Amino acid sequence: MAMLLQLTTFLQEYVYEKGHEVPKAPDALRIGILSTAMINSAAIIRPALSHGGVIISAIASRNLKQAQDHAKKYGIPKAYGSYDELLNEPGIDAVYISLPNGMHGTWTKKALEAGKHVLLEKPFTANADEARQLVKLAVEKNLVLVEAFHWQFHPAAHAVKALVDSGKYGQVLRTFARMTSPTGSIPRSDIRWKYALAGGSLMDMTYVISSTRYFLNAGTPREIADAKARASRDDPRVDEAMEATLRFDLNGRMVESKIYSDMDRANVLGLIPRIWETPSIEIELEHAVIYFYNFMMPHLYHYIQVYDKRTGRTHTEKHYSGGPQWAKRGESWWSTYRYQLEAFVDKVRGREPPHWITLDSSIAQMETIDAIYEKSGLGKRQPTPESVDPPRP
C-alpha cells in the first residue's frame, strides 16, 4: 500500500504543483539532490515549484548519464556524475539526500563537512551510533539537519496531536501503529530488501515508530517487551515483517505501544491485496479511542475518527490546511512534502518553523529501531561500505 500511496502522490503533485508554479526570489535557497531515486519528484522537485524561495539547482548520480537524464526531465540546471562533485559546488546551499539507508551517514557527514544544510530521508541513519555522530557534527558546524518525516508537518497530524494533548479525553492508555505493503508490490530487487544497504521493513516503515513517539511526546521507550521478525526468504538478516511491543515511561506511568510493519503482507484468501491497509494509528485514551487513517499521506485522503467512551458517540474529522500549527498558512492542495519544504526553508533562513523534528528526536528514533532489532535477534543495521554500489533506480 505504501508504494501505491507514493505513486498517487506523484499524480497529485503533478496536477496541483504544476498549476501553482511561482517566480523564484533572487536569494532563493539553492538545493542539490544526491541520488536519482524515484521519491525525488514527490519529495522535493515538485514541491519546490510552488515555493518562491527554493531552486533545485543540481542533481548527482554515480552515473553521469543517469543524472543528465533526470536533470533534463525535471528542468534541473546541473547534473553531476559523482556525489562529491555536487557537494563541492559552492553555489549550492543545501542538499536533499535520498540515498539507500546505509549510505545516509556517510554522505550526510560529507555534506555537513562541505558546509551544506541537509534534508535527510528517513530513516536518519543505519543505527543510533551514526545518528549521534551526525548530530554532533551538525551542531558544531551550526548547520540545519533534519530527518524527513514529512507526515509530521501536515495539519492533520497536528490536529490529532492537539486532541491527544488537550486532556479532554484523559491520559493515553495504549497505541497501535501499522504499515504494510501487499505481497509482490515491492520487487525483490528493491533496495529495501538489501542487508548491505541497511534494508528491512522496520527501516523502511519506520513511520510506525515515529507516529507512536510523536503522539506520545516520547523519546526512547523504557523497554522493548517483545519483538518478532519474519525474515526474508532471500536473506534471513532482513526483516520482511516486524511486530513489537514497546513500553514507554510517561512521567512514571507506563504506556504500552504495539507496532507492525510488513513489506510482504499476504493477500486475503491469497487473492485480494489489502490495499485498504494504509499506514494508520489507533490511540486509546481513558475516555476515547482516536483512529488516524492514512497518517503517512494525509494530503491524499485521511480521516480522524474519535469514539467517545462516555457518550458512545463517534465523530469524524479531516484537516487539510490551517490547524493548531499552521494557522492561516498553507493550502489545502499542499502535500506533506510541501509543508515539510516550507518548514525546512524557514529553519535555514533563521525563522522559527511551525513544526520541527529535533535532532534529539532523530537519535531517539534510531535508538528505538536498534533496540527492536536487537530484541528480535536480527541485530542493528550497519552502514553500507563505500565500496558497495547500490542498484540504479
Q: Which sequence positions are flagged as catalytic? A: 122
How many C-beta atoms lie closer than 10 Å to residue 337's C-beta? 27
> Per the structure block, which three cell numbers stand in for 243?
511486530
> What angle, 0 to 180 degrees and rounded to 10, lies between the N-to-C axes of helices 336-348 and 2-17?
70
SS (H, E, C) the chain: CHHHHHHHHHHHHHHHHHHHCCCCCCCCEEEEEECCCCCHHHHHHHHHHCCCCEEEEEEECCCHHHHHHHHHHHCCCEEECCHHHHHCCCCCCEEEECCCHHHHHHHHHHHHHCCCEEEECCCCCCCHHHHHHHHHHHHHHCCCEEECCHHHHCHHHHHHHHHHHCCCCCCEEEEEEEEEEECCCCCCCCHHHCHHHCCCHHHHCCHHHHHHHHHHCCCCCCEEEEEEEEECCCCCCCEEEEEEEEEEEECCEEEEEEEEEEEEECCECCCECCCCCCCEEEEEECCEEEEEECCCCCCCCCEEEEEECCCCCEEEECCCCCHHHHCCCCCCCCCHHHHHHHHHHHHHCCCCCCCCCCHHHHHHHHHHHHHHHHHHCCCCCCCCCCCCCCCCC
